[in-house]
Structure 1
Amino acid sequence: MEEVKKDRREPEKIDLIQLLQEFGKALRRMFWAPVLLAVLLAAGWGTRTWLSYTPQYASEATFTIETISDSLSDISGSSNYYDKATAEQLAKTFPYLIQSDLMRSMLQQEMGVSYLGGSITAQAVPNTNIFSIRVTSTSAQEAYDILNTVIEVYPQLADYVIGTTEMNMLTPPSLATEPYNALSLRGSIVKGAAAGAFLGLLLVLAYAATRRAVRTSEDVRRRLNQTCLATLPRVRFKRREKAIDKTVSIQNQLVSSAFQESVRSLRIKFLRTAAQRKSQVVMVTSTMPGEGKTTVAVNLALSLAQNGSRVILVDMDLRKPSVKKALGVTEASKGMPELLEGKGEQVKDYLTPLKDVEHLCLLAGDVPAANARRQIESQRLEKVFNALRSEADYIILDTPPCGLVGDSAIVARKADVSLYVLRSGGAQVSHILDSLQFLGASGCPMMGCVLNGVQEAWSGYGYGQGYGYGSRYGKYSYRRKKEES
């Protein structure tokens, strides 16, 4: 008891390889998420860039500035001098003067405007008397006019601070012919697509990391508190030019030996457990469609019959019969819906011996029941099961998924034990636990679980099984999975 409590307190370790495998599965299922986000963000980013784009034009001028003083004169009578101290003083004061509020006021007055739309920046080349002015605006003409006005006004403003100055133009202003900030929609679209794809992958990774599913027999014991009777590997049929038999059956020679050995192991444990509990009627169910419950029921029945036991395999999925298809049987026959609707017929008259397999009979039809719920709840069902008990050693019932419809819980009241099929990495643990609790309320003991579709690390097995309810069954609508090939 202390060990169980200790295990519950320990945090669950993250298996990186398992996480990557789950991420790959989730990405195959949710590949549309990164694609959709990439398209949406690319369109949004591109539209935002296009709507917010405003062309900007720039005019620049480069010149030297010299101070003029009366204290020092040259031979011609002018007093021009330039030294390092003056350069440092100009470098500090020039940008300040150009960008000051006083300069903007003088520019507005000189240009006769109440608002100056352009932006003015000034820069001094260190340790020189070379300076540059750059004016940017949404109008090329406005930027050009402002720059010319700055050149005219600056000497007047400089007289108040550093004395008389003289500007010698190195690069005169020019009227811009095209904006310097060219519109780049391609770059914005690429950035948006990359951001969307990255965000989509993060969402898929988060989904994979938070998804709690059963993948190993240890998960069955630890997360579900159930016994795992057997694990069946995935079975994948290679693509061939000719049509091949793709029934997942131990009779099919194309099915791997690993799958056949796993079924034999399931039979051995089944016989031991059934003998201990004196169980004869065994229902096989699952949480969701596509987990392989019909495949398990069919192969368990085949293996028991090959071992010499008299077996009746009953298709109790009255909404979507699938046993005959799983066995590859095409001959017409009547099943449980016809038997429950009939009056006075003997149960043995509805049993169909399976060709090439001794001791195995089918009670499976081709037509779904018109009112499956009513037939499942009929009093005649109890009589049918009592009659079946006298005809075979084991009655295997293939029932609908108990996580979606309530038929299995009703059938469970007539069965001795239930065998629960789980697909590795399939339904969420919370959903499985809810289904097990719902099934347990019927009072039917749990024989154990079969973990189906286990992907071995170095095996080449793979398995795909189709299952689905059509829309004519109302809200119980299932989606059929494609068979892997």
Structure 2
Amino acid sequence: MELQDYLTILRKRWVSIVVLTALAVAGAVAASLLATPMYRATTQVFVSVQGGSSTTELLQGSNFTRQQVTSYTNLATSPLVLGPVIDEMGLDERAESLAGRVTADSPLNTSLINLSVTHENPAIAAALADAIADEFTDVISELETPASGGDSAVKISVVRDAAAPTSPTSPNTKLNLALGLLVGLALGVGFAILREVLDTRVRGEADVAKVTSTSVIGTIGYDEDAPQHPLIVQSSPHSHRAEAFRRLRTNLQFLDIADRPQSIVVTSSLPGEGKSTTTINTAISLADAGSRVALIDADLRRPSVARYMGLEGGVGLTTVLIGKAAVEDVIQPWGNGYLHVLPSGQIPPNPSELLGSQAMANLLDKLTRTYDIVLVDTAPLLPVTDAAILSKLTGGAVLVVGANKLHRNQLAESVGALETVGARILGVVVNQQVRKQGDAYTYYDYASHTSTGEPVTPPAGRRGSRALRRSAKDVRPTRPASAASRQPISASQQRGEGIAGLWPGEPLSGSSQPGSGEQRTPR
């Protein structure tokens, strides 16, 4: 990863970093408050060699003492010195325990030895330091006394008596806070990077690019009210999500201009990624632009197109495939007359066999000759093979990816399933992506204008968003054919006399386009 990637992770995971840092600092504060204050008293002794009158003898004695000082500092914490001190002061502890609170060190190139004692009571710490210094002096004198008798050649002199300290040496609150801050920041940054590395969810275009080179042809923003308003292009035509579907429509129209697909399968990897609503809204957008669109609900596992669009779904695709009805009898016009919907019909016991049959191929061939574009909503790729089978029969597949719902390995598996059967992957649509302040279209708000051209100020909050949808729904252009299109098909229509605009050259009744003042006839 580059520096920019790390900065992006820090901005993205800053809450985790702050929380861990705060916890570490709080732990340091708690440890400082709960720790017992300890006081340190220090005494200092000087080591010298007695005797010698010439300069050479004095120099030799000085070198000898420097060499011996290292051994003496180790001797200061031995039971030979501490045992008598414990007995003298009546301490209820062993020499090994007392040695853990005694330190002896010598400054470099000196004959001085510092003896320090740490204790909860400052007076006891000073008394112990002085007692250890006195006993240390006696032990060294005894050890350095010649075996033949006489005085010791080494003299230990106390040059500084211990004084009772006035402030504790531990805990060091400032040091603990600094360490807590550094440890917390390190843990927070490490945790953020680890989460980013281990996080395999697809959250946007960058994650899609890590899996496949297929272009992202559309990004649909997240809307918490989407389940209540699935047909956003109709219910709120001026919303950001509706505009996103129009951009998707434009990108679809420019796909492979030399060999533009007339039939497209829309699928996803897993259920709940929004493939059906994406297919429906895209179909409505294409029809609003004047294209003749056939929408087929080929999800024979959990069909939802008829329910979303308020149509009768008892007869439809399966009825046609088993030969009990002609497509002209069961396909239903919707909206402005340019969109016709073929519901799924009854759920069959063998969906894959039906969708891969010659009857399905013939149906797709017939519809592609009649309509400008045929959109096919199918079941998800990973649970079943329906979408892969249909993708081979059509001009290609559009893969809908639900942001924060799909992992990269699942997306790779879906892409592999389509590539295995030789299907064309026309593009990827990232659905339900959470938009943040600073994203491209948040800089502009063309959102709400009435039919008179006056801007509508959206009320704040969730209720305001819903009120804006109701307002947009009230002022949207009238679709003359929409009401009639949802009525049951009459007997005359079933005989092929009344589905206006179904076949080439037949005019669409009430097919005026939104925003235009003239009737329009399909190409």
Instruction: Bin the TM-score by the shorter chain.
Output: 0.5 to 0.7
Instruction: Give the letter for the 2:246 counterpart.
Output: Q
Instruction: Give the letter for the 2:205 counterpart.
Output: R
Query: Take 2:355 and 2:245, find their aligned partners in 1: how far apart are those partners?
Result: 39
The verdict on how the C-alpha distance between 1:395 and 1:381 changes in structure 2, with shifts beyond 3 A counting, is farther
Shift of residue 232, structure 1, vs aligned partner: 2.7
Aligned residues of 1:95 and 1:121 also touching (Cα < 8 A): no
The 3-state SS of whatever aligns with 1:253 is: coil
| Alignment correspondent of 1:151 | 133
Candidates 332, 336, 350, aligned match of 1:352: 332
The 3-state SS of whatever aligns with 1:358 is: coil
| Alignment correspondent of 2:98 | 118
| Alignment correspondent of 1:181 | 170
Percent identity among equivalent residues? 18
Aligned residues of 1:23 and 1:205 also touching (Cα < 8 A): yes
Shift of residue 353, structure 1, vs aligned partner: 1.5
The verdict on how the C-alpha distance between 1:25 and 1:234 changes in structure 2, with shifts beyond 3 A counting, is farther
| Alignment correspondent of 2:394 | 416
Q: Which runs of 5+ in 1 are unaligned?
A: 1-13, 72-82, 463-483
Query: Take 2:59 and 2:217, find their aligned partners in 1: how far apart are those partners?
Result: 88
1:297 aligns with 2:279: yes
The verdict on how the C-alpha distance between 1:263 and 1:166 changes in structure 2, with shifts beyond 3 A counting, is closer
1:460 aligns with 2:441: yes
Instruction: Give the letter for the 2:74 counterpart.
Output: Q
| Alignment correspondent of 1:215 | 205
Query: Take 1:39 and 1:164, find their aligned partners in 2: how far apart are those partners?
Result: 55
1:260 aligns with 2:246: yes
Q: Which runs of 5+ in 2 are unaligned?
A: 88-92, 145-151, 444-464, 467-523
The 3-state SS of whatever aligns with 2:417 is: helix
Aligned residues of 2:269 and 2:401 also touching (Cα < 8 A): no
Shift of residue 397, structure 1, vs aligned partner: 0.7
1:405 aligns with 2:379: no
Deviation by residue 1:324-378 (Cα, 9 ceiling, x = unmatched) = 67xx7346654658848999455444433212x222112347x9x7x67634434
Shift of residue 203, structure 1, vs aligned partner: 0.8
Alpha-carbon RMSD across the aligned residues, in angstroms, is 6.0
TM-score, normalised to structure 2's length? 0.55
| Alignment correspondent of 2:414 | 435
Instruction: Give the letter for the 2:440 counterpart.
Output: S
1:97 aligns with 2:72: yes
Moved more, 151-160 or 99-108: 99-108
Instruction: Give the letter for the 1:374 counterpart.
Output: N
The 3-state SS of whatever aligns with 2:396 is: strand
Shift of residue 446, structure 1, vs aligned partner: 1.8
Shift of residue 286, structure 1, vs aligned partner: 3.4
1:285 aligns with 2:270: no
1:377 aligns with 2:353: yes
Query: Take 1:38 and 1:201, find their aligned partners in 2: how far apart are those partners?
Result: 12
Aligned residues of 1:94 and 1:122 also touching (Cα < 8 A): no
| Alignment correspondent of 1:201 | 192
Instruction: Give the letter for the 1:206 counterpart.
Output: V
Aligned residues of 2:46 and 2:111 also touching (Cα < 8 A): yes
The 3-state SS of whatever aligns with 2:232 is: coil
| Alignment correspondent of 1:11 | none
| Alignment correspondent of 1:448 | 426
TM-score, normalised to structure 1's length? 0.59
Query: Take 1:409 and 1:179, find their aligned partners in 2: how far apart are those partners?
Result: 75
Shift of residue 460, structure 1, vs aligned partner: 1.2
Shift of residue 260, structure 1, vs aligned partner: 2.8
Instruction: Give the letter for the 2:72 counterpart.
Output: L
Query: Take 1:353 and 1:294, find their aligned partners in 2: how far apart are those partners?
Result: 18
Aligned residues of 1:294 and 1:322 also touching (Cα < 8 A): yes
Query: Take 1:353 and 1:151, find their aligned partners in 2: how far apart are those partners?
Result: 105
Aligned residues of 2:296 and 2:343 also touching (Cα < 8 A): yes
Deviation by residue 1:66-89 (Cα, 9 ceiling, x = unmatched) = 998899xxxxxxxxxxx9999998
Query: Take 1:269 and 1:461, find their aligned partners in 2: how far apart are those partners?
Result: 27
Instruction: Give the letter for the 1:182 counterpart.
Output: P
